[in-house]
């Protein structure tokens, strides 16, 4: 079953302390950091990821772009992020697809749930990302550990028998 994650970008930025702190100095840096985190999430999980940013009061900004395999959507003029998320849920839902909406906006959660999506709170998404980071670190450290190359692993069966006989004779 294909999994699709729709992220309410500014809601997540406002909910995660690391991004909220960054947002207070540079909103653009907070957006870039979130996009990077979601790109890592997408690469690990294999899910399709959409990040929605509200451009409600910015004329002419609406549209879409991609960052790797992550699709970034900006709302059109006079369109809220909630409306775009709801539209995406409707467009992307279907057979053999499970759509998740990551937001802590309870109204958006209920509306998305009503359209067939499952909710993922900002906190739940943060926990999932932290679990993924730990799994990646574990996999990397396992690859960094040298494999044990014992003589026993390198010898064929006949030679092992000869050595075993010598050992027993002593």
Structure tokens at 128: 């999932």
Q: How far is CA 50 from the centre of its chain?
A: 10
Q: Could you read off the pLDDT tens digit of each residue along the chain, which spans 170 residues?
A: 889 999 999 999 999 999 999 999 998 899 999 999 999 999 999 999 999 998 755 555 556 666 668 999 998 877 888 888 889 988 888 888 899 999 988 777 767 777 778 989 999 999 999 999 898 888 887 776 666 666 666 778 888 888 888 888 86
Look at residue 150 in the predicted model and tell me its pLDDT. Answer: 67
Give domain limits for the chain: 2-144
Candidates 2.20.25, 2.30.29, 3.40.50, 3.30.160; CATH matching 2-144: 3.40.50
Rounded CA gap, 28 and 145, in Å?
A: 39
Q: What are phi and psi of 143, to 5 degrees?
A: -70, -30
Cα 170 to Cα 71, 116, 163, distances in angstroms:
70, 75, 11
pTM metric for this prediction: 0.76
pLDDT computed for residue 61 by the predictor: 54
């Amino acid at each position: 079953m294909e999994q699709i994650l729709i992220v309410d970008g500014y809601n997540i930025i406002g909910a995660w302390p690391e991004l909220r702190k960054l947002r207070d100095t540079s909103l653009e840096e907070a957006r870039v950091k979130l996009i990077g985190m979601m790109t890592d999430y997408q690469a690990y999980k294999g899910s399709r990821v959409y990040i929605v940013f509200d451009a409600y009061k910015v004329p002419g900004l609406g549209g879409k772009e991609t960052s790797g395999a992550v699709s970034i959507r900006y709302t059109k003029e006079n369109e809220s992020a909630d409306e775009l998320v709801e539209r995406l849920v409707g467009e992307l839902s279907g057979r053999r697809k499970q759509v998740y909406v990551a937001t802590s906006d309870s109204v958006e959660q209920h509306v998305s749930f009503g359209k067939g999506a499952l909710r993922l709170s900002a906190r739940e998404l943060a926990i999932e990302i932290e679990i993924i980071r730990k799994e990646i670190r574990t996999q990397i450290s396992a690859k960094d550990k040298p494999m044990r190359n014992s003589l026993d692993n390198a010898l064929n069966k006949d030679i092992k028998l000869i050595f075993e006989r010598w050992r027993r004779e002593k």
